[in-house]
Amino acid sequence: VAAALAAGLAFRRRFRGGGALFGLALSSLIVPSILVSLGVGLVFSQAGLDAAWWSAAFGAQLTWTLPFGLLIMFAVLNRFDRSWEEAARDLGATPWQTFRLVLLPILLPSIVGIGLFGFTLSWDEFPRTLLTAGSDNTLPLEIYGMTTNVTSPVLYALGAATTGLSLLAIVGALLLIRGLARRRSAARA
């Protein structure tokens, strides 16, 4: 989420090599996931680093989720009216205050959406994790392993727990967005 926000803000200004960097960021959507996963795994292996869920698997998932977050952030920032930032600066706000008090509240719903969408994409793309997580198992890999063997009640309990936690995260995000919208409308009145 932070990388998508930072990249989206960086791409607001034109810079040399920006088109090539944009193409590189989106290239992992074109390349098959097995090739990206094997590539990340090989890079970690050649560097002498142990593949684990927090290193190689995180890198493989980032190559999958970051382009989507970047595209969402581009769409939001493309519709953003820069005159609000200019007005804040004209009123004496520092760049940090402009970001924190003007830009961030407007971008917060899309940031939450990017986080939820990235989590969903990462949760579903277990082949990337399977090829890069090493000997560690993440929860999706553990559930996948349970479905290939005899089905046990633990599988159903995990399914219910993950569904419940996902719904709680979505409801929490929606309540956060609603609270921010109410606070914003109260500040206008």
Name the maximum alpha-carbon separation found in the chain. Answer: 66
Radius of gyration of the CA atoms of the chain, in A? 20
Would you say the pTM of this structure is higher than 0.75?
Answer: no
Are the C-beta atoms of residues 51 and 57 closer than 8 Å to each other? yes
pLDDT tens readout for residues 124-171: 777 777 777 767 777 777 777 777 766 678 778 888 888 898 899 889
Vertex 123 angle, CA 151 and 11, to 5°:
175
Q: Output the domain CATH number for residue 177.
A: 1.10.3720.10
Q: How far apart are CA 12 and CA 71, in angstroms?
A: 13
What ranges in the chain are assigned the alpha helix state H? 2-10, 18-30, 33-46, 56-78, 83-90, 95-98, 104-124, 126-132, 139-148, 153-188
pLDDT digits (tens, 9 = 90+) for 24-37: 888 888 888 788 87
The domain of 182 spans 2-188
